Amino acid sequence: MDLNSQETIKRLADEHGPEQLVVVLGAPDPESAEIAAETVVLGDPTYAGALAEAQLGLSVYHALEPEFRSQIDDEVWEDQIGVMADVLEGEEIAVAVKGMREQKPEGADG
């Protein structure tokens, strides 16, 4: 996750509260999805960005996860995401993101 995205997420969490945000990732592989999810849940593991040491505990999903997919109109899904669902490791990505989501710090409202 780039530094500008981290700054934007931090600003939005400060403005609206972490419980009001849901982060949807589109990372192409399990490793990058897991790092991005970790960043918005537990803080930036590289200690380089605005979310370093910021345990926001945000709700985070990948665009290929069934929980997200079920919220999207079928036509929009096929138009915007369908092709990627065929070529990416969707199950592995979902497992990585869910694993980080389950590590949400106690007391975090996101």
For 23-52, the pLDDT digits (tens) are 999 999 999 999 999 999 999 999 999 999
Q: Is residue 56 part of a domain?
A: yes
What pLDDT, on a 0 to 100 scale, did the predictor assign at position 108? 65
Q: Is residue 42 part of a domain?
A: yes
Instruction: Report the candidate in 5, 14, 15 with the shortest Cα–Cα distance to residue 35.
Output: 5
Structural domain containing residue 36 = 3-101
Q: Is residue 106 part of a domain?
A: no
Q: What does pTM read for this prediction?
A: 0.89
Q: Is residue 107 part of a domain?
A: no
CB contact burial 76-97 (16+ within 10 A = b; e otherwise): ebeeebeeeeeebebeebbebb
Residue positions counted in the chain: 110
- Whole-number CA gyration radius for the chain: 14
Q: Is residue 92 part of a domain?
A: yes
For 39, the 3-state DSSP assignment is helix
Q: Is residue 108 part of a domain?
A: no
Q: Is residue 58 part of a domain?
A: yes
The total of structural domains in the chain comes to 1
Q: Is residue 54 part of a domain?
A: yes
Residue 109 predicted with pLDDT over 60: no
More confident residue, 73 or 110: 73
Residue 35, burial from CB neighbour count under 10 angstroms (0-12, 13-18, 19+)? middle
Q: Distance between CA atoms of 26 and 22, rounded to whole angstroms? A: 13
